[in-house]
């Protein structure tokens, strides 16, 4: 009986695999899509993203980008500015595969020098140095769209190797209660603004450092046996939403700022002077926060800017920030070097001597 059951399962599995493969081949072999607009757009997205993926692999992130890389990012912008893009299987597969690859790399790579920065979805970043792995705004994508939500077991694998989570502010594209809970369950600190999840039991276990420019505070990492130095700048999104702008110092002395959704003119009071008091290596900046004349960069004076928050698919397409606007916002000049990353890509930052 057991043997029969085994054979039956193998047959069933083969049948499922065969039908999936069949479906794939059938779609790719079709020579017309008349009467199937959604099918057509999905297939066009699949072909476009496939080619963009090939080009990105051949042209890694760099301050000076070859035209092939610019073209790839522009192709991604075009696909993602279709209103229904997040619902298209081709887009969902593109996201899942790129993040799966990044999680594999984060888990397996050994950083011997400098820091490696991975961009995940939206404004989520992971920074790995020889001694610590730091997470910013990690979340699972758009959880209400099943295919556009990253699987729990994948994100759990990521959490297993990240030492601390910094959350910039309460908006859903930056926070994920499940992610925060998993960090806390592993005795890893979660840091946020004081207005997030006030009524949830988890609130008491989240760290809320004072929001004060230029004051160095310490976050204890019990599993690592050391403390991270952090400045928690009192940022805002608009005039009223609290937005922590963290400047985190790795034990090697490399500093990383994450700006969340910083966008408030009054905060230039402190932004203008950050670089007078601190050495900032990398700013992970929401791509619209630069302001005319690169005022944010002039304040931070970082070694490198990595813009983030491009193509947040829950935004309407006018505020679904494209890569092509980064050139306009951050400039073509290399006064403040910047490098843009697609979902799941990484950049190796080496400190200037
Ligand atoms: Zn926000
Ligand atoms: Zn946001």
Q: Which two tokens stand for residue 92?
A: 């969902």
216 has a pLDDT exceeding 90: yes
Lowest mean pLDDT among 9-23, 208-222, 225-239, 283-297: 9-23
173 has a pLDDT exceeding 50: yes
Instruction: Kindly state whether residue 48 falls inside one of the protein's structural domains.
Output: yes
Residue 335 has what pLDDT? 81
What is the number of alpha carbons within 13 Å of residue 165 lying toward its C-beta? 31
CA–centroid distance, 328 to ligand 2, in Å, is: 20
Q: CATH no. for residue 311?
A: 3.60.15.10
Q: Which two tokens stand for residue 224?
A: 């690592």
Instruction: Kindly state whether residue 280 falls inside one of the protein's structural domains.
Output: yes
Question: How confident is residue 227, by pLDDT bands cut at 50, 70 and 90?
Answer: very high
CA–centroid distance, 243 to ligand 1, in Å, is: 8
Q: Give dist(CA 127, CA 125) in Å, integer.
A: 7
Alpha helices in 59-188, H assignment, sequence order: 67-80, 89-108, 152-159, 177-185
**Residues around the ion ligand 1 (C-beta < 5 A):** 171, 237, 261
Instruction: Kindly state whether residue 13 falls inside one of the protein's structural domains.
Output: no
Q: If you average pLDDT over residues 175-183, what whole number do you get? A: 98
Q: If you average pLDDT over residues 298-315, what whole number do you get? A: 97
CA–centroid distance, 242 to ligand 1, in Å, is: 9
Residue 17 has what pLDDT? 45
Residue 8 has what pLDDT? 52
Instruction: Kindly state whether residue 131 falls inside one of the protein's structural domains.
Output: yes
Question: How confident is residue 206, by pLDDT bands cut at 50, 70 and 90?
Answer: very high
Q: Give dist(CA 30, CA 277) in Å, integer.
A: 61
Residue 292 has what pLDDT? 79
For residue 7, with 0-12 CB atoms within 10 Å meaning exposed, 13-18 middle and 19 or more buried, which class applies?
A: exposed
Q: If you average pLDDT over residues 280-301, what whole number do you get? A: 92
Name the residue range of residue 313's domain: 39-349
Q: Which two tokens stand for residue 309?
A: 């928050």
Which tens digit of pLDDT belongs to each residue from 102-158?
999 999 999 999 999 999 999 999 999 999 999 999 999 999 999 999 999 999 999
Name the more confident of 8 and 325: 325
334 has a pLDDT exceeding 80: no
Alpha helices in the chain, H assignment, sequence order: 2-29, 37-58, 67-80, 89-108, 152-159, 177-185, 268-271, 274-277, 295-300, 324-330
Residue 24 has what pLDDT? 58
Contact predicate 122/140, CB 8 Å: no
Instruction: Kindly state whether residue 304 falls inside one of the protein's structural domains.
Output: yes
CA–centroid distance, 222 to ligand 1, in Å, is: 30
Q: Which two tokens stand for residue 272?
A: 């203008």
CA–centroid distance, 101 to ligand 2, in Å, is: 24
Number of domains in the chain: 1
Q: Give dist(CA 55, CA 281) in Å, integer.
A: 28
CA–centroid distance, 119 to ligand 2, in Å, is: 15
Adjacency order of strands within the sheet including 226-237? 216-221, 226-237, 241-249, 255-258, 282-286, 304-308
Nearest ligand to the CA atom of 313: 2
End-to-end, the C-alpha distance of the chain in Å comes to 70
CA–centroid distance, 175 to ligand 1, in Å, is: 10
Nearest ligand to the CA atom of 243: 1
CB atoms within 10 A of CB 164: 23
7 has a pLDDT exceeding 80: no
Instruction: Kindly state whether residue 20 falls inside one of the protein's structural domains.
Output: no
Lowest mean pLDDT among 54-58, 110-114, 170-174, 289-293: 289-293
Q: Which two tokens stand for residue 138?
A: 């990690």
Residue 290 has what pLDDT? 78
Element (H, E) at 41: helix 37-58
Length of the chain: 353
Nearest ligand to the CA atom of 286: 2
Residue 5 has what pLDDT? 54
Instruction: Kindly state whether residue 16 falls inside one of the protein's structural domains.
Output: no
Q: Which two tokens stand for residue 218?
A: 């310490």
Residue 18 has what pLDDT? 47
Instruction: Kindly state whether residue 25 falls inside one of the protein's structural domains.
Output: no
Which tens digit of pLDDT belongs to each residue from 36-48?
999 999 999 999 9
CA–centroid distance, 49 to ligand 1, in Å, is: 28
16 has a pLDDT exceeding 50: no
């Amino acid at each position: 009986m057991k043997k029969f059951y085994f054979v039956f399962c193998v047959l069933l599995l083969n049948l499922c695999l065969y039908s999936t493969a069949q479906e794939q081949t059938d779609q790719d072999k079709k020579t017309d899509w008349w009467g199937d607009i959604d099918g057509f757009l999905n297939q066009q997205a699949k072909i476009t993203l496939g080619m963009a993926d090939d080009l990105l692999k051949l042209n890694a992130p760099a301050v000076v980008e070859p035209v092939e890389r610019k073209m790839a990012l522009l192709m991604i912008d075009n696909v993602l500015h279709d209103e229904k893009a997040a619902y298209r299987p081709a887009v969902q597969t593109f996201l899942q595969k790129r993040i799966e690859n990044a999680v594999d790399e984060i888990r397996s790579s050994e950083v011997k020098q400098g820091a490696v920065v991975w961009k995940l979805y939206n404004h989520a970043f992971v920074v790995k140095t020889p001694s610590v792995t730091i997470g910013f705004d990690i979340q699972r994508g758009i959880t209400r769209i099943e295919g556009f939500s990253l699987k729990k077991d994948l994100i759990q694998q990521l959490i297993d190797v990240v030492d601390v989570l910094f959350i910039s502010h309460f908006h859903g594209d930056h926070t994920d209660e499940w992610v925060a809970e998993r960090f806390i369950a592993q005795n890893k600190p979660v840091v946020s603004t004081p207005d997030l999840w006030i009524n949830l039991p988890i609130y008491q276990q989240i760290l809320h450092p004072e929001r004060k420019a230029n004051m160095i505070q310490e976050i204890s990492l019990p599993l690592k046996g050391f403390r991270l130095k952090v400045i928690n700048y009192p940022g805002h999104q608009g005039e009223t939403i609290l937005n922590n702008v963290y400047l985190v110092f790795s034990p090697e002395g490399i500093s990383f700022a994450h700006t969340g959704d910083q966008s408030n003119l009054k905060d230039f009071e402190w932004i203008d002077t950050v670089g007078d008091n601190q050495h900032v290596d990398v700013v992970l900046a929401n791509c619209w926060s630069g302001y005319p004349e690169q005022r944010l960069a002039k304040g931070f004076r970082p070694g490198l800017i990595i813009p983030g928050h491009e193509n947040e698919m829950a935004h309407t397409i006018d505020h679904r920030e494209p890569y092509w606007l980064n050139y306009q916002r951050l400039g073509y000049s290399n006064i403040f070097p910047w490098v843009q990353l697609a979902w799941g890509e990484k950049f190796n930052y080496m400190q200037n001597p």
